[in-house]
Structure 1
Amino acid sequence: MAADDLVELAKRRGFFFGSNGAYGGTAGFYTFGPQGAALKRNLEDAWRDRFTIREGNREIEAPTVMPEPVFEASGHLEGFDDMLVECGECGESHRADHLVEAVTEIEDAEALPGDEVEGLIADNEIACPSCGTPLAGESVEDFNLMFATDIGPGDAQPGYLRPETAQGIFVEFPRLKEYARGNLPFGITQIGAAYRNEISPRGGLLRLREFTQAELEQFIDPEADEPPLDRVRDVEVRLYPATEQEADDGEYVETTVGEAVDEGVIGSPWVGYYLGVAKEWYERVGVDLDRFRFRQHLAGERAHYAADCWDAESEVDGDWIEIAGFSYRSDYDLSKHGEHGDGAFTVFKRYDEPKTVERAAVDPDMSVLGPEFGGDAAAVAEALEALAERDPDAFDAETVSVDVNGETRDVDVDVAGFAIEETTESGEHITPHVVEPSFGVGRTVQTLLAHAYREDEVDGEARTYLSVEPEIAPQDAAVFPLVTNDDRLVDLADRVASDLRAAGLAVAYDDSGSIGRRYRRQDEVGTPFCVTVDRDGIEGDAPDTVTVRERDSAAQVRLPADELAAELAALRAGESFDVLLDRYETVETDVETN
């Protein structure tokens, strides 16, 4: 299915559409319509079930606006950039790396230096997509993607809309560790909006300026904590390692999670574990696994703090798109916030038995430092303490030097009060490492719609339908009275719809048009089951019955109306429709599929 066709279907059937259309639209912003909002919510619930509840993690909801110091510490102010090239003729800005990728075989131009991208633009005679003017000679600049704002009136505090949900977890670590009683490992999840001022939004939900992330930050002791790898050891995965991407005849590696970790193809057992969990989850929600892979980041695209990083990618309209990232972030994030923030971004790791250790210490004589250094005396004392911890050998000479406020201060070792002391310690403070699975919710929604699109023929008529999983479908069922001029049918249909809604099922009610057209409308939005109330179901003294039609096969069964809610709930939970075919009377229908 072409991307344009998918976007048109999404708009026509209420999945998603460009925002602010009454005012000309705003690039990079999409509104989820009734069907899309429901599907997105179900997808988020499925993610929450797997990555929060079943993993024993906890979920938070942090603000989407954060003060500037957070992003100074995280490195986003300096290094959260995309490559921008501006047309000298029409003034339009474009992602330089995307322009290069579109006309070359380079899959990840973002990993290249800016001057090399400039050369590729010139060598390939790339022109402005908007006006056709050659872009050779135009400079490629770094453009920071964060949206700036002011917090408060007047002399406001500068802030930014968060470009990822992760920082809201990291900055709250000093309190979150208390809820975990300081015990590692523990995980914190969050589902919410993030914002990036994309240079050239494109591809429907694939590149937006406001989007939803579902992220897990797993905090571990790197020396002691191991993942439960045996749970996913035998999960089969299609890997595209960096070595294969760089080889002229590179191929996918078809293997299992356990083998890939044992052989070092996946460097981190924790990353391997979450690749296995994610593979099973993607299958559960309906991603076509024949159009799915895990691709390892090349050295040039991997963040400097990431020891290993893999993307989950899906094929949509001939292109591979990133739908999740799995990164071993080491202790980078907590160490940075520990340096800049006031909280304790460490946990206390208790030893099995107390240890006697030697520690370098100083006890500066302030009666000497005060007169000599005046207002800097306290800072000199602090610098001496830090130096003793960092480099005890510096105190072997008669004097020791420290830097305070840009000046070198010399202190007699006797005045510094340096000594090696024995102390008994019951544990130590360590900075946890972080393993991060990060999922793009909107991109997964678009993947599911593209992978679920089907065309076939039913009762001699062509139809299109979305074969989405019942758990993810926007509606659980649709209820139709066969005709509207029979009060008994209408009353039963109303009661059936009401009972299903009371049972917690999302139900559409449609009494307009022929039954065939009603089926087609529900097929096109992915409703897995249609319930029809007809005259055969209300005849005689027998209990009322209804027919239930399964979307993909168009097979139908007749069952008691009073049992309908329980049967549909079981189907939504994963029971096969074949069970109903075996249990109840079937209703014949003419079905042909292409």
Structure 2
Amino acid sequence: MSEVINKVLDLAKRRGIFWSSYEIYGGVAGFYDIGPIGVKIKNRIVELWRKYFIRDNNDLVVEIETPIIGPAKVFEASGHVESFTDPIVECKNCKRVYRADHLIEDTIKKSVEGLKPEDLTKIIRDNNIRCPSCGGELSEVRLFNLLFTTNIGPYTGNLGFLRPETAQGMFTAFKRVYETSRQRLPIGIAQIGRVARNEISPRQGLIRMREFTIMEVEFFIDPNDTDINNVPLHRFQDIKFNILTAVEKEKDGKPQEFKLEEAVREKIIIQPWMAYWMAVASNFVKALGINDFYFEEKLPYERAHYSKQTFDQIAIVNGIKVEISGHAYRGDYDLTRHMKFSGQDLTIFRKYDEPKIVKKKTLIINNVKLKEKELRKKVMELINNRSVEEVEQLIKNNVKIDDKPLSEFLSVVEREEKIHGEHFIPHVVEPSFGVERTLFLTVVNAYREKEGRVILSLPKYLAPYDIAVFPLLEKEELIKKSIEIRDTLSDRYDVLYDEVGSIGRRYARADEIGVPFAITVDPQTLVDNTVTIRDRDSWKQVRVKVNDLQISLEKLFRGEALNKIGIEVKDSNE
């Protein structure tokens, strides 16, 4: 774990951002409490995500909520029961269990993602990799399913799972949302909710957890609509992507820059709508204050079982590279599977601009010749689950039943029909963010040190408090005036009020949780009704009239320079 991450973990615990859950019992790996300051930052990140993915796309996206627990059938259909696995290996001596691919990568410094258990076992043997805890011999590698299991209701055998993603609730609710909303494609269904994954080796704070929150969109599209002009890429005309393609990745190459439309037209991104949401994600991540990132294409063996193409958005913060979002083109996998397992019709009707005349083959059964019950049974068993074309071929091949040609009982005729449209299964594009991971990376990215002190240099709109109000001294007149200012500003801003300790310590506390501006009431305030406004990052201060505070703060939050709104003063209380 890097030095910066250790410092952030210390700051997070000290200032109430996050800490390990169940501390009084020694903690449980992979579970974290989000503290009072962390919840404020997290909620602002969630609202920022809503702005970029839902409100700014309200012509395309609606938001729903679905349960955390689902019946086993749902996750059998989704493929999670079969495929949601990671490789594990156990020490034969101390019985500790490790995630095999991570253990190998940490030892030989080479990616082994996607390799089969037997291949991982061979690498462990060839490199004499031992248990990091006791040095004991390791077992054969096997697969471990990451689903948390539960029982729904008091009845045994009514198995359920805690969802590992919010997606399945959106897929099972798709037809209902479609019918009650726009009744046309494309349509996005967004959801923010808790999920659970029984991770083998949770690590690096909020990077890999066993319970966390996901923000994601399942965006349903007509696969036949291939006109790039129907995707509003013009909203992102100037955007460029740094993409590490699968081809370059296999050659140990580096990310290359692509314009948005260039990446689509050259089929670097195979589905235009995925490029659209990657552009939205780029703007969102920049709004978090993270400007250094690229998209890495997953190789075929690295992709999830449902994916036709996947990109991870890799953020580079304080020297570390971490996935901040995932973007998958899921095709029709999910709806097809849920149709199969539920028996319900999840197709959409595509109406033609004008009716089409089509020739359609129809199977005709000669009921007169099939009066005999046993003979009818044999014929029906033969044609059961066969298409009309397959039955026609049987007739042409002179297949016989009880020495009688099939043509005596069946015939195929071709007729013209006028059809007005067709049913199809929508395809899905999915952008997905983990909230706690996003919170963690935002905090790590914002971490600064200045003259031996810590500053959390968050974007203003993500700070837990907009402003702080401090009386310089614990004097009744100053405290009364400070409370008056706090109450006036609280209608518009989230205000931190603190009167305990030296002003320098209060500034330091505000800096460490990222409060962008501090207003200080001092003895001069009582003389000329002015206060100082202090900037978190520069530590510079200006003096302004109390009556002008609202206007001054509005200008600062719009990005105007501090020295433009008041008279700069030197502070001796840092």
Same-fold status (TM-score > 0.5): yes
For 1:373 and 1:110, how far apart are their aligned partners in 2? 57
Q: Quick check: 1:471 aligned with 2:461?
A: yes
SS of 1:111's equivalent in the other structure is coil
Q: CA deviation at 1:224?
A: 1.3
For 1:271 and 1:451, how far apart are their aligned partners in 2? 26
Q: Provide runs of 4+ in structure 1 moved above 6 Å.
A: 376-379
For 1:389 and 1:177, how far apart are their aligned partners in 2? 34
2:181 paired residue number: 180
1:170 paired residue number: 171
What is the 5 A alignment of 1:355-366?
Answer: 355-362=356-363, 364=365
Q: CA deviation at 1:563?
A: 4.2
SS of 2:136's equivalent in the other structure is coil
Of residues 152-161 and 226-235 in structure 1, the stretch that sits farther from structure 2 once superposed is 226-235
1:145-199: CA deviations, max 9, x gaps? Answer: 0001111112452110001111110011110111234201111101111110011
Q: CA deviation at 1:545?
A: 3.1
Letter in 2 for 1:532: T
Q: CA deviation at 1:103?
A: 1.9
Letter in 2 for 1:238: N
Q: CA deviation at 1:379?
A: 8.3
2:250 paired residue number: 246
1:407 paired residue number: none
- Contact 1:228/1:273 (CA < 8 Å) preserved in 2? yes
For 1:49 and 1:380, how far apart are their aligned partners in 2? 58
For 2:144 and 2:239, how far apart are their aligned partners in 1? 40
2:522 paired residue number: 534
2:424 paired residue number: 430
Letter in 2 for 1:312: Q
- Contact 1:257/1:275 (CA < 8 Å) preserved in 2? no
For 1:394 and 1:332, how far apart are their aligned partners in 2? 33
Q: CA deviation at 1:227?
A: 2.1
1:295 paired residue number: 296
1:119-170: CA deviations, max 9, x gaps? Answer: 22122222212222242xx211010000011111124521100011111100
2:475 paired residue number: 485
- Contact 1:550/1:577 (CA < 8 Å) preserved in 2? no
Q: CA deviation at 1:519?
A: 0.4
What is the 5 A alignment of 1:100-139?
Answer: 100-107=104-111, 109-135=112-138, 138-139=139-140
Q: Quick check: 1:555 aligned with 2:537?
A: no
For 2:375 and 2:131, how far apart are their aligned partners in 1? 63
What is the 5 A alignment of 1:559-570?
Answer: 559-565=544-550, 567-568=552-553
1:406 paired residue number: none
SS of 2:207's equivalent in the other structure is coil
For 1:511 and 1:392, how far apart are their aligned partners in 2? 89
For 1:523 and 1:413, how far apart are their aligned partners in 2? 87
SS of 2:384's equivalent in the other structure is helix
What is the 5 A alignment of 1:99-498?
Answer: 99-107=103-111, 109-135=112-138, 138-224=139-225, 226-248=230-252, 250-287=253-290, 289-290=291-292, 292-316=293-317, 318-362=319-363, 364=365, 368=370, 371-372=373-374, 383=384, 387-388=387-388, 393-399=393-399, 412-413=406-407, 415-416=409-410, 418-457=412-451, 462-487=452-477, 489-498=478-487
Change (3 A) 1:453 1:383: same
For 1:125 and 1:475, how far apart are their aligned partners in 2? 53
For 2:552 and 2:497, how far apart are their aligned partners in 1? 19
Change (3 A) 1:129 1:237: same
SS of 1:434's equivalent in the other structure is strand
Query: TM-score by structure 2 length?
Result: 0.92
2:26 paired residue number: 24
1:496-532: CA deviations, max 9, x gaps? Answer: 22222222x2221110111111000110111111111
2:52 paired residue number: 50
Letter in 2 for 1:576: G
User: What is the Cα-based RMSD across aligned positions, in Å?
Assistant: 2.6
- Contact 1:285/1:471 (CA < 8 Å) preserved in 2? no
Change (3 A) 1:236 1:416: same
For 1:22 and 1:379, how far apart are their aligned partners in 2? 69
1:254-313: CA deviations, max 9, x gaps? Answer: 3322332233333332222222221121111111x23x2211101210234422211011
1:203-255: CA deviations, max 9, x gaps? Answer: 1001111011110111111221542122224312222112222215x222133
SS of 1:360's equivalent in the other structure is strand
- Contact 2:552/2:565 (CA < 8 Å) preserved in 1? no
For 1:533 and 1:411, how far apart are their aligned partners in 2? 103
1:316-353: CA deviations, max 9, x gaps? Answer: 56542211111111111111111112432111111000
- Contact 2:503/2:573 (CA < 8 Å) preserved in 1? no
- Contact 1:499/1:565 (CA < 8 Å) preserved in 2? no
SS of 1:324's equivalent in the other structure is strand
Q: Quick check: 1:520 aligned with 2:508?
A: yes
For 1:428 and 1:224, how far apart are their aligned partners in 2? 14
- Contact 1:165/1:213 (CA < 8 Å) preserved in 2? yes
**Paired positions, count:** 564
1:40-70: CA deviations, max 9, x gaps? Answer: 1110100011101111210011100000111
- Contact 2:243/2:295 (CA < 8 Å) preserved in 1? yes
Segments of 5+ residues of structure 1 without an aligned counterpart are 402-409
For 1:389 and 1:561, how far apart are their aligned partners in 2? 85
- Contact 1:83/1:110 (CA < 8 Å) preserved in 2? no
Of residues 561-570 and 14-23 in structure 1, the stretch that sits farther from structure 2 once superposed is 561-570
Percentage of matched positions with identical amino acids: 41
Change (3 A) 1:256 1:515: same
For 2:419 and 2:45, how far apart are their aligned partners in 1? 48
Q: Quick check: 1:501 aligned with 2:490?
A: yes
For 1:216 and 1:441, how far apart are their aligned partners in 2? 14
For 2:373 and 2:485, how far apart are their aligned partners in 1? 89
For 1:318 and 1:129, how far apart are their aligned partners in 2? 26
- Contact 2:189/2:219 (CA < 8 Å) preserved in 1? yes
Query: TM-score by structure 1 length?
Result: 0.89
Q: CA deviation at 1:365?
A: 5.9
For 1:516 and 1:71, how far apart are their aligned partners in 2? 55
Change (3 A) 1:501 1:390: farther
- Contact 1:364/1:381 (CA < 8 Å) preserved in 2? no
